Structure 1
Amino acid sequence: MIEKRTHYIRVTLLLMCCCLFLFACTSRNPDGAGEGEGQPTDSEELSLARLDIDYRTFQKVIGWLDDETLLVHLGSADEHKLMTFNIFSGEMEEVYSNESSILTTEINQSRDKILLQEIKNGQSAFKVITPDGTTIQTTTFGYTSYVNIHWNPTNDNTVFVSHYHFDHELEAETILVYIWTIDKNTFSVRDIPSLSPQWYSENVYVYIDELHTNALFIGDIRENKEDMMINRDISDFFLNQDTFVGVVESDISDNEVLLFHEYPFLVGDKVIRIPKVTMNESPVKPHMTQSTRNGKIYGVIPDHSFSLEEELGDYRLAHLHFEDEAVIEIMDLPENAPIALSPTEEYLLYGWRLENIIDLSNPELIELIEILN
């Protein structure tokens, strides 16, 4: 009797062990696929590719076309190109090429149109194309040097085009600002004393008056009246959709600037204090980026206050967490350079030519292209 009971217990334990083993195997591989059969590892999924090109042709990375695709500008004495580049596969496809030199390129808010300025034989032209290379509009333009472009985020049929202009009558340099209506291919001059006016909505724009007051103004293209000053203290700003961050010198500390966060615009929210960097005694706006509406904001933040005439300083990449009014440091950066956050907020481009990429889940500066081939 005891032997039978012992045998029964052993059989029961053996069956339980088999069940547990099978359950564990099923949990690891619910689809029943063998290990390595179409199942990429974590390292494979996160592996970033490098640009496989001659470094001498590399001009810059323009920006993100989608979660994993960049628009890249290549150029030589004979030809300039725009190419797409997949950051994981490394695959590249040509979007546009011409014997002209491409000076300025801008992607619209929806990432489905690209505006470029090119120069050939001393003549300037604008083109609007799609990421598959289809030309939407082409027009000549009478200025043969670099221009500033700001694409309307809510109506991509209108674009600010601005540049410096020497007025021979006044014998002084001034600023010309045009509104290009793309479908009608018309240019209208707008009296805006700023090289960098920015659209807030389809008709409303904001800017810093660079010629007179150095204050923040707001205007409306539907009105012919003078633009309205809305803040005399804001010396510069960052704007992305409904998010506005104004730069204000502290009236308490000479070594700080205040970043005033407003969401929606003109609705006061939170303030972050950072060290002040100056040039010509004026505060320098930190490079900032945001990719989604009311999403995360990242900035290139100095670790102490200084003048650029005296030193270059040290900088860190930081998450500007306005909700808690906190600067969350992520990693050291070699210099103060532009940044561009991916649509998924997982990766960030960095550098004067956006030639580096940072995986924000494991922060490390990775070169997209080797400097020497």
Structure 2
Amino acid sequence: MRKKVPKTIGIGIFVLLFAAVLFLGSCSKEHPKETGKAEEEHVYHELPISYESFRKVIGWLSDEEILVHAGEMNADTLYRFNLFSGKLTPIYEAGSIILTAAISENKQQIFIQVAGEAGGELRIINLAGEEQQKLAIETNGYLNVQWNPVEQNQLFISYYQWEEEMVVQKWDIETNQLKDIKSNSLTPIWYSENLYLYVDNTGDFLLKTGELYMGDIRNDEVTRIRNQVSGFFLSNDTFVTFSPSDFSKNELLLTRQYPFMVDKGFITVPKVSMNERLVFPYLTQSGRKEAIYGVFAKEPTQLELETGEFEFGKLNFDTRKIEPIVDVPDNAPISIAGNGRYSLYGWRFEYIIDLEQKKVYPLIPMETP
């Protein structure tokens, strides 16, 4: 004779079974979607461009898109490429060789230097590939370019003429005029709409000495504002100077200032040199008050004797230490995305560093043997 199950126990078992079915159903339906979405967000696509055609990545157009320079023979093209969808979209066909390209601070315009038989030409295009300005220039040498972060119609161009004479000019895109700028450096950096900074290394090829100057484009005046500065990094309100350490010949001193000219801590990093000439670390920052990242040697390195070991890491001026993120093969340039999650890396920005995954991914196929 079977025992009769109490009614209350039967109801309890039914409720437990029903809850279990709901839980398993939610796991089988919702979680794969969430996992798939998370994985999809972190899948990087290689550029659908051959190694031979790839020139370089110019920089970030957004947190997901980069500007790519590629070409065949004497005809170069600029593309926008979405890292996560893999979509490659042509923007502009130059009809000649592109020597230099740079993206404006607001990501809406692109500077292009093209080479020609009688000399070069400067061009400004928008993201639709429409030409907005042109200007002939005598040199066919590579230009240094620095876009004004405040006034989008102003940028610096600089180059060596006849191998010795330094030419530093401001290009006013609106008026399409060039104006000479006072600078004893080939790389003046905009500090504000009208002010700029540069280091005069006073003829010291080894870069062990230097003086920091501030110039004003409104009155053509320059003022020496600090000694013992060999180089610097400037981004938004962040200003970091480089100078040899007074305490160790194997260290480089990085001093952070915030606000400008007010010291807010320092870090010493292993010194890197090439034939005794200082090699400064590459730094990058995604925005105001955000973390500063860089490529640093693990040990003092003389590049003429050894390749060295390098790492991509975060500067912590409070602890005076570098917080390592991932090893990288060389002391090469970097550029972080606006969201602070990814950084371009490499002499042609041919890699991307995922700061959360702590991995380095190639953006172009490997060179064929």
Answer yes or no: same fold by TM over 0.5. Answer: yes
Q: Which residue does the alignment assign to 1:263?
A: 258
Find the aligned partners of 1:4 and 1:325 in 2 and give their Cα distance: 75
* Matching residue's letter, 1:76: E
Find the aligned partners of 1:341 and 1:316 in 2 and give their Cα distance: 15
1:41 to 1:75, Cα distance in 2 relative to 1, 3 A = same
SS of 1:18's partner is helix
Q: Which residue does the alignment assign to 2:350?
A: 355
Q: How do residues 152-163 of structure 1 correspond to structure 2 at under 5 angstroms?
A: 152-163=148-159
1:38 to 1:283, Cα distance in 2 relative to 1, 3 A = closer
Q: Does 1:90 align with 2:81?
A: no
1:223 to 1:51, Cα distance in 2 relative to 1, 3 A = same
Shift of 1:253: 1.1
On the 8 A contact 2:78/2:90 being kept in 1, the answer is: yes
Find the aligned partners of 1:209 and 1:174 in 2 and give their Cα distance: 15
1:75 to 1:288, Cα distance in 2 relative to 1, 3 A = same
1:207 to 1:34, Cα distance in 2 relative to 1, 3 A = closer
On the 8 A contact 2:94/2:114 being kept in 1, the answer is: no
Deviations 1:34-54 (CA, angstroms, capped at 9, x unpaired): 776798343222111011112
**Which shifted more, 301-310 or 107-116?**
301-310
Q: Which residue does the alignment assign to 1:250?
A: 245
Q: Which residue does the alignment assign to 1:8?
A: 8
Q: Which residue does the alignment assign to 1:317?
A: 312
Find the aligned partners of 1:173 and 1:296 in 2 and give their Cα distance: 38
Shift of 1:111: 1.1
Q: How do residues 1-373 of structure 1 correspond to structure 2 at under 5 angstroms?
A: 6-19=6-19, 21-22=21-22, 25=25, 40-166=36-162, 173-212=164-203, 214-225=210-221, 227-372=222-367
On the 8 A contact 1:164/1:173 being kept in 2, the answer is: yes
Unaligned runs of 5+ in 1: 167-171
How many percent of aligned residue pairs carry the same amino acid? 37
Find the aligned partners of 1:162 and 1:63 in 2 and give their Cα distance: 20
Q: TM-score, normalised by structure 2?
A: 0.91
SS of 2:84's partner is coil
SS of 1:75's partner is strand
* Matching residue's letter, 2:341: E
Find the aligned partners of 2:128 and 2:362 in 1 and give their Cα distance: 26
1:285 to 1:34, Cα distance in 2 relative to 1, 3 A = closer
**Which shifted more, 116-125 or 316-325?**
316-325
On the 8 A contact 2:116/2:140 being kept in 1, the answer is: no
Deviations 1:179-223 (CA, angstroms, capped at 9, x unpaired): 111100011111211100000100010001145573111111122
Q: Which residue does the alignment assign to 2:206?
A: none
Find the aligned partners of 2:94 and 2:268 in 1 and give their Cα distance: 47
Find the aligned partners of 1:24 and 1:371 in 2 and give their Cα distance: 45
Q: Which residue does the alignment assign to 1:169?
A: none
SS of 1:156's partner is coil
On the 8 A contact 1:262/1:270 being kept in 2, the answer is: yes
SS of 2:40's partner is helix
Shift of 1:122: 3.3
Number of residue equivalences: 361
Find the aligned partners of 1:347 and 1:6 in 2 and give their Cα distance: 62
Find the aligned partners of 1:355 and 1:328 in 2 and give their Cα distance: 24
Cα RMSD between the aligned structures?
A: 2.2
On the 8 A contact 1:263/1:294 being kept in 2, the answer is: no
* Matching residue's letter, 2:107: R
Find the aligned partners of 1:372 and 1:304 in 2 and give their Cα distance: 30
Find the aligned partners of 2:49 and 2:301 in 1 and give their Cα distance: 38
SS of 2:10's partner is helix
Shift of 1:324: 3.3
Shift of 1:244: 0.8
Deviations 1:351-372 (CA, angstroms, capped at 9, x unpaired): 1101011211112221111123
SS of 2:36's partner is coil
Find the aligned partners of 2:272 and 2:181 in 1 and give their Cα distance: 32
Find the aligned partners of 1:38 and 1:248 in 2 and give their Cα distance: 49
Find the aligned partners of 1:209 and 1:306 in 2 and give their Cα distance: 25
Find the aligned partners of 1:371 and 1:222 in 2 and give their Cα distance: 49
SS of 1:40's partner is helix
1:326 to 1:24, Cα distance in 2 relative to 1, 3 A = farther
Shift of 1:309: 2.9
Find the aligned partners of 1:268 and 1:129 in 2 and give their Cα distance: 40
Find the aligned partners of 2:31 and 2:353 in 1 and give their Cα distance: 30
Shift of 1:307: 2.4
